């Protein structure tokens, strides 16, 4: 157990001392989030619609047919039905803009009936849809990008460097098993993943005033399972391509960004390219994080299946990779 904690600490510190790992694991995802966030968040227009039985001046598309509006509610961030001085709101998105719009309806109605002391009650209903803003898409995509970077580049840098400088050969002189070696490294990468995600979340709060639903338990499952999967993937790349693993990873990095739905929907791709996305593991990491943050592109069963497969494959690849690495040094 002492070996595990000692190695985990050493791997954790090495990830910050190594400029290559620090850039790809921490800095690059933050730079991408800042870049895409600043470019696209300003262009995000919240879409609202409402039906009212009285003449009222509020922002949004006014419907004269209540039933038609209800059928079309998934096309808007929020929809309001205003009848008999009562308001029912269907929310497809959370955030300051939506809350401000709802408060605006209350204020406008109170002005309209200022001779009445009745309090305006607003009933909100969350719509189970997957309508979300640009910044929400960029945020969840950046989290997946961070996990991918930490997994592939962190593992490749560590195992390639350990093989080349003889570190693994030195470890073999100690009472240390391959499993302790690879899983202490994995634990250190879990910690780095948490740090990276916290930094990205801090940027989203303080720079973009970004408010989103969070399920901390689901987020934890997403981090652990996707980290296991991507770290195991990085270990296998370092074994299959001992001399060119970094170049292969950089190529795959580019492929995954464009074909995994990180910064734009897969639906934007031509039909013959969409099939590629199903073979990119990062696609499923993106979907897991979206589900964890209330953006339900998948259901609960799919989330559990993805996380289970990622965990099992990651565990197997790490175990197999550790044995291969130590075996090659014999």
Task: State the SS3 of 140-193.
Answer: HHHHHHHHHHHHHHHHHHHHHHHHHCCHHHHHCCCCCCHHHHHHHHHHHHHHHH
Residues comprising the chain, all counted: 330
Question: How many angstroms separate the CA atoms of 41 and 210, rounded?
Answer: 10
Domain coordinates of the chain in residue numbers? 2-41+133-328, 48-126
Long-range contacts of 202-211 (CB under 8 A, 24+ apart): 203/30, 203/33, 203/34, 203/37, 204/33, 204/37, 204/135, 204/139, 207/34, 207/37, 208/37, 208/41, 208/135, 209/96, 210/95, 210/135, 210/136, 210/139, 211/94, 211/95, 211/96
Tell me the pTM.
Answer: 0.69
Q: Evaluate whether 212 touches 39 at the Cβ level (below 8 Å).
A: no
Which residues of the chain, if any, have pLDDT below 50?
116-120, 127-130
Q: Evaluate whether 113 touches 85 at the Cβ level (below 8 Å).
A: yes
Q: What is the DSSP letter of 279?
A: T
The helix (run of H) or strand (run of E) holding residue 250 is helix 245-259
User: For residue 167, what pLDDT is reported?
Assistant: 67
User: For residue 119, what pLDDT is reported?
Assistant: 46
User: For residue 129, what pLDDT is reported?
Assistant: 47
| Beta strands in the chain, from DSSP E residues, in sequence order | 48-52, 61-63, 78-83, 86-91, 122-126
**In Å, how far are 95, 143, 177, 178 from 163, measured between CA atoms?**
49, 30, 16, 13
Question: How many angstroms separate the CA atoms of 326 and 247, rounded?
Answer: 23
Q: What is the DSSP letter of 267?
A: G
Supply φ then ψ for residue 127, to 5 degrees: -90, 130
Question: How many angstroms separate the CA atoms of 277 and 272, rounded?
Answer: 10
Question: 202, 190, 181, 199: which is closest to 150 by C-alpha?
Answer: 190
User: For residue 109, what pLDDT is reported?
Assistant: 78
User: For residue 220, what pLDDT is reported?
Assistant: 92
How many CB atoms neighbour CB 295 within 10 A? 22
For the stretch 115-168, pLDDT in tens is: 544 444 555 555 444 455 677 778 888 898 889 888 888 788 777 766 666 666
Q: Evaluate whether 295 touches 140 at the Cβ level (below 8 Å).
A: yes
User: For residue 130, what pLDDT is reported?
Assistant: 47
User: For residue 118, what pLDDT is reported?
Assistant: 45
Structure tokens at 108: 């406008």
User: For residue 107, what pLDDT is reported?
Assistant: 77
């Amino acid at each position: 157990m002492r070996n595990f904690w000692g190695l985990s600490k050493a791997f954790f510190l090495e990830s910050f001392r190594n400029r290559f790992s620090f850039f790809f694991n921490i800095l690059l995802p933050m730079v991408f989030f800042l870049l895409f966030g600043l470019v696209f968040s300003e262009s995000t227009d919240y879409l609202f619609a409402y039906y009212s039985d009285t003449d009222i001046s509020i922002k949004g598309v006014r419907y004269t047919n209540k039933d038609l509006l209800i059928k079309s509610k998934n096309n808007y961030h929020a929809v309001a039905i205003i009848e008999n001085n009562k308001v029912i709101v269907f929310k497809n998105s959370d955030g300051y803009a939506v809350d401000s719009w709802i408060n605006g309806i209350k204020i406008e109605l109170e002005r309209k009936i200022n001779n009445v002391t009745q309090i305006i009650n607003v009933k909100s209903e969350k719509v189970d849809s997957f309508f979300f803003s640009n910044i929400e898409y960029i945020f969840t995509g950046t989290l997946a990008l961070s996990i991918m970077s930490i997994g592939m580049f962190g593992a490749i840098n560590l195992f390639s460097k350990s093989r080349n400088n003889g570190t693994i050969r030195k470890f073999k002189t100690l009472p240390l098993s391959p499993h302790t070696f690879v899983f202490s490294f994995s634990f250190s990468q879990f910690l780095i993943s948490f740090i990276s995600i916290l930094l990205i979340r801090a940027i989203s709060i303080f720079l973009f005033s970004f408010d989103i639903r969070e399920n901390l338990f689901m987020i934890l499952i997403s981090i652990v399972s996707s980290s296991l999967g991507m770290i195991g993937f990085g270990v296998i790349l370092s074994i299959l391509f001992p001399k060119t693993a970094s170049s292969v990873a950089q190529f795959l990095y580019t492929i995954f960004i464009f074909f995994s739905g990180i910064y734009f929907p897969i639906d934007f791709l031509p039909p013959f390219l969409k099939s590629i996305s199903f073979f990119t593991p990062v696609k499923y990491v993106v979907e897991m994080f979206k589900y964890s943050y209330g953006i339900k592109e998948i259901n609960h069963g799919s989330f559990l299946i993805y996380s289970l497969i990622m965990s099992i494959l990651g565990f197997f690849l790490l175990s197999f990779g550790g044995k291969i690495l130590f075996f090659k040094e014999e």
